[in-house]
A and B are shown apart, each in its own frame.
Chain A
Amino acid sequence: MLTDAIKLKVDRRDGKLAMAHFYVAFIALAIGGLAGLLQVLVRSGKFELPAGIGYYQILTVHGVVLGLVLTTFFIMGFQISAVSKTSGTLTNRQRVTGWIGFWVMTLGTVIAAVMILLNEASVLYTFYAPLQAHALYYIGLTLVVVGSWIDGAVIIMKYVEWRKKNPGKQSPLLTFMALVNTFMWIVATIGVAATVLLQLLPWSLGLVETVNVGVSRTLFWYFGHPLVYFWLLPAYMAWYAIIPKIIGGKIFSDSLARLSFILFLLFSIPVGIHHQLLEPGIDPAWKFIQVILTFLVIIPSLMTAFSLFATFESFGRSKGAKGLFGWIKKLPWGDARFVVPFIGMLAFIPAGAGGIVNASHQMNQVVHNTIWVTGHFHLTVATAVVLTFFGVAYWLIPHLTGRVLTKKMNKLAIIQGITWTVGMTFMSSAMHAAGLLGAPRRSAFSEYGGAAQAAEWIPYQIAQAVGGSILFIGIILMLYIFINLAFFAPKGEQEFPVGEAANPAEKAPMVFENWKLWIGITVLLILFAYTVPFIDLIQNAPPGSKGFKLW
């Protein structure tokens, strides 16, 4: 009987824990969105920041608050809800652990935010040494990561408990997926923890005088690339396991979904050097090896694309759709819970193609550090991922607060998705185009000494400002919907949709749950891809760098 009750609804107490994460996430959306608006306006050349606020200070806010805070808090809230729903209510011990994780992350966020506001940390969210921020900035970010580990421990504890209670059975799909993402996150964040704790913190405290810049960057990117998969996999959780239920269809294949997540675990991490292709100090052969490993994620990506569209087509045909594309008409185009993430899926097609360009051994040189790259990740994380998160919020927030998504809010949510699409089309396209002409990323408005080439970029920068302003309207709409769903929507039961496999008789091989095997292979791949580059960077290191505060 108890298990039936579990299946119906996430426990109120777990809901509160998840909601705490969502409050921080959406406050971050408001602050980070405003910072983004200010940036595109400054870069149009028509607007200057008041009161001596620096462009790069605002840029640091935007990156930290949206790239690290919004994403991490939303993901933790979503994964905890999904695990509580599919593997059962958290035990008191697990829930307390979750609250500790939440407060450690929040404390870290506040410390880092204060340092940014005091202009002690205008080093952007990538904090490349030897630019040296205040030690408290590094401590704040460390606490965010440590808090996310504690939150991750909740998911691991619940999974272990479930396996003990259900020997020989495969775990619920959403729990399995949240667990893979948690493992991937823990292995990846070891890199950033290492550079911060062993290098940057002692250096910013004055305990050591110099830092090895090459090692620090390589450790950062060891973390920096899997970071993007940490954002993406929760979106994939929704696409694989939740969207099928929303449209009224079935999960195309439970075991292939698990296989693709395992492949993401293996191939997300040993690839960070593709962000460092244009750097000295790393042998080009090792760069190429990591380029190959990078491209292996194309395989699970192709599997994902196939599964999703197979689900859509099977559903449409089961409703009597005819012809090659007749099934498209049968999809629920009036349901924001489907439409908004679906826009995200479509955005991922050009986003993935652009990513292939970026990671290509040679083509990277054309676009590296141009605003093309900014255009790229505004399609991946700021459209595909974020719109999916919004699509999840539309049903998850009212589910957790005991309210419902009304017809009016559903309509507004679709308008929100369309607003985002229009804004992002302007902004991202203009960024891609200007990047191909050479316009740099992460730069305030500049005429570059009156250079003719730089003058060509300005019309694109105005287009970015138009797109960015439309996106800001999208953010206001989203915040309005969030506040409605959290506090004002009518009381009721909003479904937590969990998809069922098209063929439930077909069980995934139990080897998928053999974590010693998968984490073992992950570690071996990492050792293979990174051992020699790190030995080179350490053995042939130049004299270290002192810290600089150039803002």
Chain B
Amino acid sequence: MHMHKFEKIWLTFGVAMLLVFLTVIGVSAFYLGNQPPSCLATIDPEKVDTTAPFNEPGLKKVEGKDWDYELVFVASAFSYSPGAVEVPLGAKVKVIATTKDVIHGFEVAGTNINMMLEPGYISEHIATFDKEGEYLILCNEYCGVGHHMMTSKIEVVK
């Protein structure tokens, strides 16, 4: 099978770029720890309200961990609990969320916090809030007729 010289150059260049690209995202994932939210913990979706930490949704200060606060959200059709929350500026926060019914999204608009909430699973993501302001939380996975009304908000305050 014959391959044109230019095509060899083109493919060599292309494959080299691909390797560089994969190395960059690989180093970011495994060395810098930038992994997508992939929590493996499970929960009984029908007992969310009585299972810690979801029995007390909201912001909680924690000690002796890599993060300063834990922010717990419970999603259900078509709302989040809490409906609004204040976070101190500069806080390193572990967001912990789950759903009581169908699959929901958990997106904090204007940030990199974006994860799927699936019944029976807990989703987690660690983020630092270093810009003041009001951030909209919304459901970005279709969950039913009120999907687009499903919101909450985070206010980052000094």
State the A residues within 8 Å of B (CB). Answer: 54, 56, 59, 122, 124, 128, 130-131, 213-214, 217, 252-253, 255-256, 259, 276-284, 287-288, 291-292, 295, 298-299, 302-303, 306, 310, 356, 360-362, 364-366, 368-370, 437-438, 440-446, 448-449, 451-454, 503, 506, 508-509, 536, 540-545, 548, 550-551
Chain A residues with Cβ under 8 A from B14's Cβ?
298-299, 302
Q: Could you tell me if B102 and A130 are in contact, using CB atoms closer than 8 angstroms?
A: yes
Q: Could you tell me which residues of chain B, from 118 to 136, have a CB within 8 Å of some CB in chain A?
A: 118-123, 134-136
Chain A residues with Cβ under 8 A from B39's Cβ?
280-281
Q: Could you tell me if B136 and A370 are in contact, using CB atoms closer than 8 angstroms?
A: no
Of the A-B pairs whose beta carbons lie under 8 Å apart in the complex, a sample of 20, sorted by A's number, is A56-B145, A131-B103, A214-B118, A278-B116, A281-B39, A281-B40, A306-B11, A360-B25, A361-B35, A366-B112, A368-B114, A438-B136, A441-B140, A448-B138, A449-B151, A541-B120, A542-B119, A542-B121, A545-B45, A551-B144
A410 to chain B, nearest CB (A): 33
**B34 is an interface residue with CB less than 8 A from chain A:** yes
Give the residue name and chain of the B residue nearest to A545 (CB). Answer: B119
Give the residue name and chain of the B residue nearest to A454 (CB). Answer: B136
**B153 is an interface residue with CB less than 8 A from chain A:** yes
Give the residue name and chain of the A residue nearest to B106 (CB). Answer: A278
Q: Could you tell me if B1 and A543 are in contact, using CB atoms closer than 8 angstroms?
A: no
- Say which residue of B15, B36, B42, B103 sits within 8 Å of A284 (CB atoms): B36
Q: How far is the CA of A306 from the CA of B43 in the complex (A)?
A: 51
Q: Could you tell me if B145 and A288 are in contact, using CB atoms closer than 8 angstroms?
A: no
Can you list, as one digit per residue, whether each of B1-40 has a CB less than 8 Å from chain A (1) or not (0)?
1111011001100110010011001101110001111111
Q: Could you tell me if B136 and A451 are in contact, using CB atoms closer than 8 angstroms?
A: yes
A371 to chain B, nearest CB (A): 9
The answer to whether A303 and B7 touch (CB under 8 A), given A540-B42, A550-B102, is yes
Q: How far is the CA of A536 from the CA of B42 in the complex (A)?
A: 12
Give the residue name and chain of the A residue nearest to B35 (CB). Answer: A284
Q: Could you tell me if A443 and B25 are in contact, using CB atoms closer than 8 angstroms?
A: no
The answer to whether A550 and B144 touch (CB under 8 A), given A361-B29, A503-B2, A542-B119, is yes
Give the residue name and chain of the A residue nearest to B4 (CB). Answer: A310
Apart from A255-B1, A255-B2, A302-B11, list 14 A-B contacts with CB within 8 A: A128-B142, A281-B40, A288-B25, A288-B29, A288-B30, A291-B25, A299-B11, A356-B21, A365-B36, A438-B107, A441-B140, A448-B151, A543-B46, A545-B102
Chain A residues with Cβ under 8 A from B115's Cβ?
278-280, 365
Q: Could you tell me if A278 and B143 are in contact, using CB atoms closer than 8 angstroms?
A: no
Chain A residues with Cβ under 8 A from B78's Cβ?
550
**B147 is an interface residue with CB less than 8 A from chain A:** yes
**B110 is an interface residue with CB less than 8 A from chain A:** yes
- Say which residue of B10, B77, B135, B140 sits within 8 Å of A548 (CB atoms): B77
Q: Could you tell me if B11 and A303 are in contact, using CB atoms closer than 8 angstroms?
A: yes
Q: Could you tell me if A214 and B121 are in contact, using CB atoms closer than 8 angstroms?
A: yes
Q: Could you tell me if A509 and B1 are in contact, using CB atoms closer than 8 angstroms?
A: yes
Q: How far is the CA of A298 from the CA of B16 in the complex (A)?
A: 12
Give the residue name and chain of the A residue nearest to B46 (CB). Answer: A543
**B56 is an interface residue with CB less than 8 A from chain A:** no
B141 to chain A, nearest CB (A): 6
**B68 is an interface residue with CB less than 8 A from chain A:** no
Chain A residues with Cβ under 8 A from B46's Cβ?
543
Q: Could you tell me if A366 and B1 are in contact, using CB atoms closer than 8 angstroms?
A: no
* Closest 3 A/B residue pairs (Cβ): A550-B144, A542-B120, A438-B109
B10 to chain A, nearest CB (A): 5
Q: How far is the CA of A448 from the CA of B15 in the complex (A)?
A: 44
Q: How far is the CA of A444 from the CA of B28 in the complex (A)?
A: 36
A35 to chain B, nearest CB (A): 15
A179 to chain B, nearest CB (A): 19
Give the residue name and chain of the B residue nearest to A443 (CB). Answer: B148
**B139 is an interface residue with CB less than 8 A from chain A:** yes
**B52 is an interface residue with CB less than 8 A from chain A:** no
Q: Could you tell me if B103 and A443 are in contact, using CB atoms closer than 8 angstroms?
A: no
A432 to chain B, nearest CB (A): 16
The answer to whether A280 and B1 touch (CB under 8 A), given A298-B14, A361-B28, A453-B135, is no
B130 to chain A, nearest CB (A): 17
- Say which residue of A362, A442, A545 sits within 8 Å of B25 (CB atoms): A362
Chain B residues with Cβ under 8 A from A280's Cβ?
37-41, 115-116, 118, 121-123
A218 to chain B, nearest CB (A): 11
Q: Could you tell me if B7 and A445 are in contact, using CB atoms closer than 8 angstroms?
A: no
Q: Could you tell me which residues of chain B, from 80 to 101, have a CB within 8 Å of some CB in chain A?
A: 101
B95 to chain A, nearest CB (A): 13
Q: How far is the CA of A542 from the CA of B25 in the complex (A)?
A: 31
Q: Could you tell me if A548 and B18 are in contact, using CB atoms closer than 8 angstroms?
A: no
Q: Could you tell me if B145 and A550 are in contact, using CB atoms closer than 8 angstroms?
A: yes
Q: Could you tell me if B139 and A440 are in contact, using CB atoms closer than 8 angstroms?
A: yes
Q: Could you tell me if B77 and A541 are in contact, using CB atoms closer than 8 angstroms?
A: no
